[in-house]
Homo-oligomer: A and B are copies of this chain.
Amino acid sequence: MGEMNVIGKRMAMTDARAKVTGLGRYADDLSVPGMLYGRILHSPHPHARIRSVDTLAAEALEGVKAVATGRDAPTPYGILPIGHDERVLALDKARYIGDNVAAVAATSPEIAEEALRLIRVDYEPLPAWFDPLESMKAEENWIHEKRAHNIEKEYHHHFGNVDEGFAQADFVLEDRYYCGEVTHAAMEPHSTLAVWEPNERLTVYSSTQVPFYLHRTLSAVCEMPMSRIRVVKPLVGGGFGGKSEIIPLEVAASVLAKKARRPVKITYTREEVFYAHRGRPITIVDLKLGITKEGRITAAQARIVQDGGAYCGYGPVTVLYSGALLNALYDIPNVKFDGFRVLTNKPACGAMRGHGTVNARFAFESMLDQIAARAGLDPVELRRRNLLKAPCTTPNGLRVTSYGLPECIERVAERSGWAEKRGKLGKGRGIGFACSHYVSGAANPIIRSNMPHTTVNIKIDRDAGITVYSGASEIGQGSDTMHVQIVAEVLGVRPERVNLVAADTELTPVDLGSYSSRVTFMAGNACLNAARNMRAQILGPVARQFDCETDDLEMRDETIVSKNGAGVSMSFDDAVALAMVGEGALVAKGTYAPPEQARGGKFKGAGVGPSPSYSYSAQAVEVKVDRETGQVKVERVVAAHDCGRALNPLTVDGQVQGSVYMGMGQAVQEEMVWREGRLMNPSFLEYRLPTTLETPQIESIIVESIDPEGPFGAKEAGEGSLAAAIPAIANAIYDAVGVRITDVPITPERVLAALRAKEEAEKGGAR
């Protein structure tokens, strides 16, 4: 590939100036003449039949321009084709406190609020289900009639033979792990501006990770052809999966705009954001692991129950990933997985950074330490002994094409001083270790088709400016900058020459969205293909003019030169002008779809299937535990991440640090606390994210395994580091104070309780 000029360099994100100067415009910053303010009426009941909704008084209020109920938009939808169980506004039943019942658009937010108060809903409360383990035993009052016993989806996978595996083991351990519910807590609340255009089109500006899916859903629910709807993603202030489904306000604003024939903006309050969240579900993992005395894993068995809330959402994927991806990290010959996504009368959970893998990984990596202790093995050494022999295909059919995990482990062990520190940090201090991984997108799209997952177009005209059209959605992860870097590298120009137009369904070709860490891999590959196509169009005429082969030429420093110094030298501008003779504007296209052989995961129910490539992480965490208060302080994190190739090391570092931070929050303090379906802490004062004061230096180590399929070898970087942080902290607490906490968040109360139990046990043992 030769020396590179843009790829691999630390480059400030292209939207950084706009963001730090305050000039960048997020959805709620947008405003158009005649704009109305929309508000949504939410159910006060966790489960209730809706007998009637009387909107007459609201409609009569001066300044109210539209009132909508379930009857205005009865088409059900959902992010997965198998889960169309939501309506923008409830038609028959409300299924959680906060469920959407009616919506109003008015000339001011105050009038809209007043109108909500005038809507009379006749509810018939129904018995409600809050505990997933109880809910899945339900014989009646099912939340969705079609979902017997409130089980949304169950998976039962068995690869190899776990009975034989456990029989071969010298040590077998069983335990239950509990993870509380957490949410994305993006700084930007959800916001949507739906503009009914004078030409009877609908333009929707929304804070979304998935403009394309939103486009489809709006078409269905608003009963308009997609060609008359345009979805535009402005700047997004954080997604983390929380904007990767269709959010009710997006549809409600559109329904109201169509009804009022006016622009309508809805921005959620922070409380509404908490209820709309679709975060990581309460997860109960019953795990059983067997190893030989040499430390080889012989079998793993997991039963995982997830508390999905009232609607399907991404739920089947959440539970599928928690089972299917157990295998892609280590070499495990026998695996059994039983997964249940259970409905309850709470807001739906869904995709959150590390989607599906995080809580299962907490259990697995905790138990690895537990069983290492039992076997008298160093936890890092235990992990070393169970590495895959990549490239390989796992027993459940996952294709591992690049595998930087061994290097991640060694570099973290070295940098963290693992050997010197484990068990030796002194009173109340400890070090823990864990690994994790993630997909680089799903090899199969949610909605099956034989179309590419991404198309990228490039236009160059007489200004020799390069306009790149991509449907990919920048959500803060660096998607926009990634496109600019790839094109600048391939065409040998400064990044400033590249203008990116992104995530606008009218202007750009489709990309499936920013979820499952698919963008760099898939949109990046499409962009690379488009840039190479454009490169050929420019080099061809230059080669003809100089009577050489295009292979003899290279593009760098805004110039076309001979590779071998044979004398060709032409500025990029002149080369473009030459290529345009008789041709007009240059247009190039690139597409990407994962290769056929990446799509064939053997596990059943592969709604989204495996990935074309996996990232790998290892982390060491040092903690200090206050034995008096139970407070855990994370003091240092060393995190290595194999991202294939770091296209922009600056953003890879940022993603690793952000992932670790988010894992740390879940590990020690974040939790959505529910009481009878009502959220007890729906604000940032009460739902305690770690502040900078509680966040240690996070040392990021980039490992580059150069994936054969990734663009320039790149693969996932934005999610994979999260999952290791939680078990690494739990393992560090064990190293610090000798207690094994199996429930997260590891609150001071839980630490104190465990310390007391340990003391009791030790007293008992001493007695």
Interface residues of A in 465-479 (CB under 8 A from B): 465-467, 469
Identical subunits present: 2
Is A21 an interface residue, CB under 8 A from the partner?
yes
A587 to B469, CA, bound (A): 12
A581 partner residues in chain B, CB cutoff 8 A? 449-451
Task: Pick the contact of A499: B215, B219, B506, B510 (CB < 8 A).
Answer: B506
A449 to B581, CA, bound (A): 8
A454 partner residues in chain B, CB cutoff 8 A? 584
A198 partner residues in chain B, CB cutoff 8 A? 17-18, 21, 23-24
Is A520 an interface residue, CB under 8 A from the partner?
no
Report if A199-B506 is in contact (Cβ < 8 Å); known contacts: A215-B463, A228-B465. Answer: no
Could you mark each residue 423-465 of chain A with 1 if its beta carbon is under 8 Å from any beta carbon of chain B, else 0?
Answer: 0000000000000000000000000011110110101011111
A583 partner residues in chain B, CB cutoff 8 A? 451-452, 591
A646 to B499, CA, bound (A): 38
A462 touches B584 (CB 8 A): no
A199 touches B17 (CB 8 A): yes
A462 to B219, CA, bound (A): 12
- Chain A residues packing against B (C-beta within 8 Å): 14, 17-18, 21, 23-24, 33-34, 197-201, 212, 215, 219, 225-230, 449-452, 454-455, 457, 459, 461-467, 469, 496-497, 499, 501, 505-507, 509-510, 526, 577, 580-585, 587, 589, 591, 593
Task: Tell me how far the C-beta of A545 lies from the nearest C-beta in chain B, rounded to whole angstroms.
Answer: 14
A506 touches B510 (CB 8 A): no
B451 touches A580 (CB 8 A): yes
A230 to B499, CA, bound (A): 10
A229 partner residues in chain B, CB cutoff 8 A? 463
**Could you write out 16 A-B pairs with CB less than 8 Å apart?**
A17-B200, A18-B198, A23-B34, A23-B198, A225-B463, A227-B499, A230-B499, A450-B581, A451-B577, A451-B582, A457-B585, A461-B509, A467-B507, A501-B506, A509-B587, A582-B593
A469 partner residues in chain B, CB cutoff 8 A? 459
A584 to B17, CA, bound (A): 33
A501 to B526, CA, bound (A): 23
Task: Tell me how far the C-beta of A548 lies from the nearest C-beta in chain B, rounded to whole angstroms.
Answer: 22
B14 touches A467 (CB 8 A): no
A507 partner residues in chain B, CB cutoff 8 A? 467, 501, 507
B455 touches A451 (CB 8 A): no
A464 touches B227 (CB 8 A): yes
Which of A17, A24, A219, A451 has the most chain B CB atoms inside 10 A of its CB?
A451
A469 to B587, CA, bound (A): 12
Report if A510-B227 is in contact (Cβ < 8 Å); known contacts: A198-B23, A584-B455. Answer: no
A23 partner residues in chain B, CB cutoff 8 A? 33-34, 198
A33 partner residues in chain B, CB cutoff 8 A? 23
Task: Pick the contact of A510: B34, B228, B462 (CB < 8 A).
Answer: B462
A353 to B699, CA, bound (A): 68
A79 to B299, CA, bound (A): 79
A23 to B201, CA, bound (A): 13
A585 partner residues in chain B, CB cutoff 8 A? 455, 457, 509-510, 589, 591
Report if A226-B464 is in contact (Cβ < 8 Å); known contacts: A457-B459, A459-B457, A587-B589. Answer: yes
A201 partner residues in chain B, CB cutoff 8 A? 499
Task: Pick the contact of A506: B14, B467, B505 (CB < 8 A).
Answer: B467
A199 to B497, CA, bound (A): 11
A23 to B583, CA, bound (A): 38
